[in-house]
Structure 1
Amino acid sequence: MVDDQTKQPPEDGVEEEYDTTANERAYWSDNIRLLCGLMAIWLLVSFGAGIVFRPFLDQFSIGGYPLGFWFAQQGSIYAFILLIFYYTFRMKRLERKYDLDD
């Protein structure tokens, strides 16, 4: 981290704000927590259901295909798309909560 005494102002004369507020830190903390949770779900669906739990899931079928195969080929993509929509929904709520929306 740059010490405030050694920091030079920009050439255009406009000083930028480098400190984050407690509100922004809380926002980013919630944002990272949300991202980690969604990535864990995606890992579980794509790697877990498509590879690790595939032998168990193959005893069930969707559309005539074994469930493990379906998750490996289609299910993880559908889950990822749903997670994207959920992420945008939650981010809009987080931005309103922390008054950072436009």
Structure 2
Amino acid sequence: MDEQARRDYWRKNVRLLSVLLTIWALVSFGAGIFFADALNNMEVAGFPIGFWFANQGSILIFLALIAVYVWRMDKLDRDYGIDIDDYEGEVHHS
């Protein structure tokens, strides 16, 4: 992979991480802490939504974000011709 392709790959990786971490922060801190009082006016399965996000929802969203990250990185690796099996046990430094 040439230097420009490496930069593009890394830029796309960082952008994906930034988006996913922003979603995580909004759900964890926003829905679970900052907006919990406002969200507690609605219920999910008999529990106030703010309480639910603080205790269950943010964990489920976090697991979904991990799955999205794995799926998107697999696609990004394929797009750039990266095969993890080619690097088994090897450490590459540039």
TM-score (normalizing by structure 1): 0.78
The answer as to 2:64 corresponding to 1:82 is yes
The answer as to 2:30 corresponding to 1:48 is yes
Q: How do 1:55-70 and structure 2 match up within 5 A?
A: 55-70=37-52
**Kept in 2: contact 1:92–1:101 (CA 8 A):** no
Partner Cα distance (1:98, 1:30) in 2:
11
Letter of the 1:49 partner, please give it: A
**RMSD across aligned C-alpha pairs, in angstroms?**
1.0
Aligned length, in residue pairs:
83
Q: Percentage identity across aligned positions?
A: 49
The answer as to 2:8 corresponding to 1:22 is no
Partner Cα distance (2:31, 2:55) in 1:
11
**Bigger helix share:** 2
Distance apart, 1:56 and its partner CA = 1.2
TM-score (normalizing by structure 2): 0.84
- Name whichever of 39-48 and 20-29 sits farther off: 20-29
Deviations 1:5-52 (A, max 9, x none): xxxxxxxxxxxxxxx611111101100000011000000000000011
* Runs of at least 4 residues off by over 2 Å: none
Name structure 2 gaps, 5 residues minimum.
85-94
Distance apart, 1:101 and its partner CA = 2.4
